[in-house]
Amino acid sequence: MSIYDLIVIGGGPGGYVAAIRAAQLGMKVACVEGRGALGGTCLNVGCIPSKALLTSSAKYAELAHLSSHGIAVEGASVDLSAMMGRKDKIVGDLTKGIGFLFKKNGVELIEGWASIPADGQVKVGDDVYEAKNILIATGSEPTPLNGIEIDEQDILSSTGAIALDAVPEHLVVVGAGVIGLELGQVWARLGAKVTVVEYLDRVLPGIDGEIAKLAQRALSKRGLKFQLGRALKTIDKTNTGLTLTLDRVGKDKEEVIEADKVLIAVGRRPVTRGLGLEELGIALDPRGFVQVDGSFRTSVPGIYAIGDCIPGPMLAHKAEEDGVACVEMLAGEAGHVDYNTVPGVVYTDPEVASVGLTEEALKETETEYSVGKFAFMANSRARSTGETDGAVKVLADPNGKILGAHICGAHGGDLIAELVLAMTKGATVAEVAATCHAHPAIGEAVKEACLDALGRAIHA
Ligand code: NAI
């Protein structure tokens, strides 16, 4: 059997992109995937199917708000199985597309679950493959909670919550993070009562607090109920549904709520078990993440790791950047990922988008900074589309260099790209403000926020 230059374990966005890039660089590459489809969590049960459902549910929800445009819609209804069918087709087409990309680039697909029995070896079923380098790109899985068993029927992870066959009457979402808010909004739009239970006294931990507050307010207006400062303790199955016992955090008090479905979305953990990593002496941190150096090298020579299974934001695009940088370094090139400019987007309505440091982080490190803000209410394009909730917030150092940017608002996920580019290129708020922005456009809010940081916003 021939020796591969690289075997990638995991065919998600980190792994498949790394495999293709390595093949482009002339390596003999195989990628091992066990789930029966390429694309990992993101394409199969994460980013892509959730965005398909977010889009479908948004179209339905919009029908109820067209009267101010002089449009009456009567008798609109949801065919959930057709909606799910559309989602499944999108997923199927995209995952098959990666198979074509593998063929085009000469990446060999090995189907099955891999382990690493020894340095330079990958075992799949009864077969052992030899490789000069091994890349672990095994991703992450939902974190379990208090021994609560996810049955994907009534007690759901995100995987079950994108595959329901009926709209729940009352969905309780545990965790006001990215998954909880996105999928909570899908089902709220389709007619479910949705209550979001969150341990902290705020939503979207990690996002700038002021922007998270705007998001909570906007989502409340759109029907989501929030129960903050509450931790889920137990779930009991009864004849009529589910009974949840919640702890009021810091109050020595319990509360009980009833639901017919519960989505547990309290974070994700790395998939690093069952691969033989401990036996090989590969160092993991206390939370199970593979420890790597700046070149993605694990503690065992010839074995590398990228994406959700190493520390850092658990985001598909970060995993892709990791993967490309890792194999470029393997090929002797200068791979690099700038973790300060990795954007994050929550695809709710309004969207929440963020890059760089939050105001809380700047205060904590006593960094000197200026703030510029601009509310979409004052943007004429947002007024004409009726998307006036939220604001753009930029944080800059005393020289005007952008340290962080945070948006709650329609198209925030697209608008953030301008600020990511500005940060990547070291541009100042003055330089963004001096850039001509089309009128009327939502993006003018970015320019105005930068002007505000200089104390000279025009429309606020
Ligand atoms: P998360 O870490 O974003 O949020 C989990 C929330 O659960 C936190 O607010 C936490 O305080 C809360 N929590 C923890 N234990 C609790 C308890 N016992 N009772 C009540 N609340 C509790 O995790 P999430 O939403 O599960 O997402 C996992 C990962 O997937 C994230 O890292 C995220 O970046 C990624 N993701 C990204 C998406 C995107 O980029 N649009 C979409 C979906 C997921």
Instruction: Report the distance separating Cα 219 and Cα 226, nearest Å.
Output: 9
Question: What is the CA(198)–ligand 1 centre distance, in A?
Answer: 10
| Closest residue by CA, ligand 1 atom 35 | 314
From 162, 268, 339, the mutation candidate for ligand 1 (largest count of ligand atoms within 8 A of CB) is 268
From 162, 179, 233, 254, the mutation candidate for ligand 1 (largest count of ligand atoms within 8 A of CB) is 179
Architecture of domain 350-453: 2-Layer Sandwich (3.30)
- Omega prior to 350 cis, within 30 of 0: yes
Report which of 318, 389, 393, 408 is spatially closest to residue 362, judged by C-alpha positions. 393
**Among 69, 170, 439, 459, the one annotated catalytic:** 439
pLDDT digits (tens, 9 = 90+) for 3-50: 999 999 999 999 999 999 999 999 999 999 999 999 999 999 999 999
Question: What is the CA(181)–ligand 1 centre distance, in A?
Answer: 9
pTM above threshold 0.95: yes
Q: What is the 3-state secondary structure (H, E, C) of 401-416?
A: EEEEEEEEECCHHHHH
| Closest residue by CA, ligand 1 atom 2 | 267
- Tell whether the model's pLDDT for residue 1 goes beyond 70: no
Indicate the CATH number of 4-142+269-339 among 3.30.70.120, 3.50.50.60, 3.30.70.270, 3.40.220.10. Answer: 3.50.50.60
Our answer to whether residue 170 is catalytic in this structure is no
pLDDT digits (tens, 9 = 90+) for 86-135: 999 999 999 999 999 999 999 999 999 999 999 999 999 999 999 999 99
Confidence of residue 279 (pLDDT cuts 50, 70, 90): very high
pLDDT digits (tens, 9 = 90+) for 250-274: 999 999 999 999 999 999 999 999 9
- Position in ligand 1 atom list of the atom nearest CA 145: 18
Question: What is the CA(407)–ligand 1 centre distance, in A?
Answer: 19
Instruction: Report the distance separating Cα 9 and Cα 14, nearest Å.
Output: 10
Q: Which long-range contacts (CB under 8 A, 24 or more apart) does 274-280 make?
A: 274/113, 274/115, 275/9, 275/114, 275/115, 275/116, 275/136, 275/138, 276/115, 276/116, 276/117, 277/116, 277/136, 280/116, 280/118, 280/119
pLDDT digits (tens, 9 = 90+) for 47-87: 999 999 999 999 999 999 999 999 999 999 999 999 999 99
Architecture of domain 155-266: 3-Layer(bba) Sandwich (3.50)
Decide whether 4-142+269-339 matches 155-266 in CATH topology: yes
Which residues line the pocket of ligand 1, CB cutoff 6 A?
A: 145, 174-180, 182, 197-200, 205, 231-232, 265-268, 314-315, 344-347
Report which of 175, 356, 389 is spatially closest to residue 262, judged by C-alpha positions. 175
pLDDT digits (tens, 9 = 90+) for 326-364: 999 999 999 999 999 999 999 999 999 999 999 999 999
How many C-beta atoms lie closer than 10 Å to residue 254's C-beta? 12
| Closest residue by CA, ligand 1 atom 28 | 267
Report which of 284, 280, 244 is spatially closest to residue 261, judged by C-alpha positions. 244
From 43, 178, 235, the mutation candidate for ligand 1 (largest count of ligand atoms within 8 A of CB) is 178
Q: What are the structural domain ranges in the chain? A: 4-142+269-339, 155-266, 350-453
pLDDT digits (tens, 9 = 90+) for 430-456: 999 999 999 999 999 999 999 999 999
pLDDT digits (tens, 9 = 90+) for 133-180: 999 999 999 999 988 999 999 999 999 999 999 999 999 999 999 999
